[in-house]
Structure 1
Amino acid sequence: MRGCDMPFVASRRAMAGALLPALLLSACATAGSPAGAPRPHYPAVDVAAEGETAPVGTAKADAADDPAIWRNAANPAASLVLGTDKKAGLYVYGLDGRVRDFSPAGALNNVDLREVRMADGSTRILVAASDRNDRAVPKIALFWLDGATARLSAQEPIAFLPAGHAPAEAYGFCMGGPRATGEVARAYVVLKDGTVSESRLVERSGRIAAEELRQVKFATQSEGCVVDDATGTLYVAEEDVGIWKVPLAEGTLVASALARVGEADGLVDDVEGLAIARQGSKGWLVVSSQGDNAYALFDLETGKSAGRFRVSGGSLGATSETDGVEVLLGDFGPQFPEGLFVAQDGDNAPLAQNFKLVSWRAIRTALGLR
C-alpha cells in the first residue's frame, strides 16, 4: 500500500453560507484478512503496565473505548486521564486510576482535548467527543475541564456541535491546533461510513461553534484518527485496510497510504486507535493492531516501522482487543518520567473494561528508540 498516492476530487456545495470543497477519496486498496481466515500473530516485545484505571461502570459489555491525556505542567503527578464508556458517558481519572469525575452523557465514542486560547486571553481545557446518542445525526459533545479540580464543567455537555452529513453515525474523533486566525482548534469527526469531516472551531461570545470546511471519504469503515500539528498531517485508520496520511495544507490535498494490513509493518485488522508520541523533531505514530493484541510504531520522519510491543506481564496483566490509545511525552512524575501511554483494555475480566497506563520510558527502552 506504500506509494499509493491519490488526489482528492473536489466538488462544491453551500456550507455555512459559503461554497466549500467536499473532498472525496477513492481507495486503491482492498480489505485485510478474509472472513474466517486465521489472523497472523507478529512478533512484539512485552512491556508491563504500571497503572490502570478503575473499571468503567458498564459491566459485561464492550464499553470502554478511547482515552485522552491532560498533562499538568505545574504538578505532573496531578495529570489526568479521560476515558469514554461508550454506553454511559465520560470519566476523568487521576494517574492513580481513581475516578475524579464522571459525566453521564451517554454514547460518547472517541474523546480528545486541547488547551485553547480564548478571546479574553485565558487558556482553557476544551474536551470534545464524538456523540452517538443519535445514530443518524452526527454531533460533537463539548466539555470544559478544570485541571485544578479534575472536574468537568457540568454533568452534561456544554454544547453539541454539528459534524458532517446526516444520516450518518459519528464514530472516530480527534482535534488539531488552529490553522487560521480566529480559530481555537480544528475538529475531525470520522463517520462510520468512512467520511472524515473537518471543522474549524471558533469562539463566539465565550461559546465554541463549529464551521464545517471539507470532507474526505475513505472506502470502508474507519475510526481512529490523530493530527500531527508539527507537520500539519492527519492520520486515519481504515479498519480493514490500513493507515492513511492526509496533509492539511490548504488547496488540493493528496492522501497517501502509510501502511497496510498484512504487510511487513505488522498491522492486523482491525486497525484501531492512533496516537502520536512527539518530542521536538523526533516522533512516532502509535497504532493499535487490534487483531493480534499489539501496538505498532512508525517513524514520522521516514514512515517506516519502528517496532511493535504488547502490554503484557506484571501484576496488572495484559491488554487485548484495544480500541483507543493515547500517548503524551514529558514528565508525569516518578512513575512516568518520560511520558505516558494509555490503552483501552478489552478484557479486564472478571471486572468491566478499563484503561492501562504504561511508562513511555519502558516502551522506548524495550524498542531501542532514540
Structure 2
Amino acid sequence: MKAALTHIASVVKLGSGALLPALVLSTILGGCATTATAPAIRLPAIDVPAAGETTPVGTANVDAADDPAIWRNAANPAASLILGTDKKAGLYVYGLDGKVRDFAAAGALNNVDLREVRRGGVTTILVGASDRTDRAEPRIALFALDGASGKLTPLGAETFLPAGHAPAEAYGFCMGSALASGELARAYVVLKDGSVAESRLIEREGRIAADYVRLVKFATQSEGCVVDDAGKVLFVAEEDVGIWKVPLAGDRLVPEAFAKVGAADGLVADVEGLAVAREDGGRAWLVASSQGDSAYALFDLGTGKPAGRFRIDGGALGGTSDTDGIEVALGDFGPAYPEGLMMAQDGDNAPHAQNFKLLSWRAIRSALALD
C-alpha cells in the first residue's frame, strides 16, 4: 500500500483581491487503494433496495447524470422536490414519484446544492450548481426554485475567482449557511485541479453575486463536498486519497484528515459524492460514495469512526453502480420515506439513460442497525 504525500495550501484574500499564501500543510494520508495489491475492505456491504427512481436524464449513451439535491416541503412532506444534474445539458426537478416537473437547459452543470434563504423578507429556495460550460472560467449557476410549481427561475451564472486567475474548471459544488451578516449563504466550488474556492453569496445591485473569500488546495483531483451547517464544517473528497474535514471558523481553512482510502475506513477509490445525515438534536453521519466498489460508507460524526457500509441492490428497481453524486435529507417525506430520503446517481441504468435512485433512510438505518 502506497502512502500519498499531500501538500495543501490555504489562501486568504487581502483587501483588493490579492492572494497571500497563509498555510502550507504536509500530511501523509496512507492508502491509495487503486493498485492490484490493495487490501480487501473488511466491513461488509449490506444490500438495501431502492424505493423509487427518477425518469432517466435526456442525454443517452454517455455518462450524464451526476449529482442530486433535495428540498423538503415542511408543510406537505409528500410534495417535496428533488433535483438532479444532466452534466451535458442542464438541471432537472422531479417530484418524489420520480417524474419530471421542470428542466433548465443551462449547459454543463455538474454538481448541485440548495439552501432556503431570506430575500426581501421572503423565503427563497436558492439553488446553485457548478457550471462547466466554459472550461477555463468557472461559474456558479444560480436558480430560484418554486416549491409549489416545481419550476426553476434562472438567476444568472456568476464568476467568483479574483481577476487574473489562471484558467480553471468548475467541478464539484456544495453550499452552506451564511457565516456572517449580510450573506445569503456560502458557496464552495471544487476546481478540477483540487482547489476549493469559498464565496459569499450576497445581494448586489438587484442580483445575487458571488464574492470570493478564500481557497484551500488539495494535491490531486477532488470533487465531492458537503457542508455540515450544524458543525460548521466542510467535508471534501480527494478521489484517490480520502475525505478531509475542514473547519469553517476563523480566517484560514485548515484541513484535517478524516477518512482514507483503504481497508480500515471502507472506501475504495474513487471517493465521490458526500452527504450529511443529521438528526434533530441527535446523532449525525457522513455518507460517502465508494465508487470503486459501487458501495456507500457511513461514518459517525460524533466519533469519526466507520459506522457501516451498504449497496443499493435488490428489489424491483435494480441497484446502482459507479455512483457519482449522493444526497441525504432527514425528516418526514411522506409514507414512502417517513424518516428521510437518500438519492444516489446510477452510473449504469441500462437499457435506459442514467438516472437517480431513491432510498428510505429508515431502511438504511435498519439494515445497518444504527439505532
- Whether contact under 8 Å (1:273, 1:323) holds in the other structure is yes
List per-residue Cα deviations over 1:255-297 (Å, max 9, x = no partner).
Answer: 2111110131110000000000001231000000001111000
User: The residue matched to 1:230 in structure 2 has which SS?
Assistant: coil
- Whether contact under 8 Å (1:64, 1:86) holds in the other structure is yes
Shift of the 311–178 alpha-carbon distance from structure 1 to 2, 3 Å rule, reads same
CA distance in 1, matches of 2:24, 2:54: 39
User: The residue matched to 1:362 in structure 2 has which SS?
Assistant: helix
User: The residue matched to 2:315 in structure 1 has which SS?
Assistant: coil
Q: How does 1:43-62 map onto structure 2 within 5 Å? A: 43-62=44-63
1:113 maps to 114
Structure 2 counterpart of 1:103, one-letter code: A
- Whether contact under 8 Å (2:40, 2:263) holds in the other structure is no
Asked if 1:86 corresponds to 2:87, the answer is yes
1:353 maps to 354
* TM-score, length basis structure 1: 0.93
User: The residue matched to 2:208 in structure 1 has which SS?
Assistant: strand
Identical pairs, percent? 70
List per-residue Cα deviations over 1:125-170 (Å, max 9, x = no partner).
Answer: 100000001111111111111011000014xx53323247431111
Asked if 1:294 corresponds to 2:295, the answer is yes
User: The residue matched to 1:29 in structure 2 has which SS?
Assistant: strand
1:150 maps to 150
Q: How does 1:1-370 map onto structure 2 within 5 Å? A: 14=14, 25-29=25-29, 32-34=32-34, 40=40, 43-118=44-119, 120-154=120-154, 158-163=156-161, 165-279=165-279, 280-370=281-371
Structure 2 counterpart of 1:270, one-letter code: D
* TM-score, length basis structure 2: 0.92
User: The residue matched to 1:365 in structure 2 has which SS?
Assistant: helix
Gaps of 5+ in 1: none
Shift of the 229–12 alpha-carbon distance from structure 1 to 2, 3 Å rule, reads closer
- Whether contact under 8 Å (2:12, 2:213) holds in the other structure is no
Deviates more, 1:187-196 or 1:163-172: 163-172
User: The residue matched to 1:364 in structure 2 has which SS?
Assistant: helix
CA distance in 2, matches of 1:10, 1:348: 40
Deviation at 1:204, TM superposition (A): 2.3
Deviation at 1:15, TM superposition (A): 5.9
Gaps of 5+ in 2: none
Shift of the 278–207 alpha-carbon distance from structure 1 to 2, 3 Å rule, reads same
User: The residue matched to 1:77 in structure 2 has which SS?
Assistant: helix
Shift of the 36–352 alpha-carbon distance from structure 1 to 2, 3 Å rule, reads farther
Structure 2 counterpart of 1:348, one-letter code: N
Give the CA RMSD over aligned residues.
2.4
Structure 2 counterpart of 1:272, one-letter code: E
- Whether contact under 8 Å (1:20, 1:214) holds in the other structure is no
Structure 2 counterpart of 1:281, one-letter code: G
CA distance in 2, matches of 1:130, 1:183: 19
- Whether contact under 8 Å (2:117, 2:124) holds in the other structure is yes
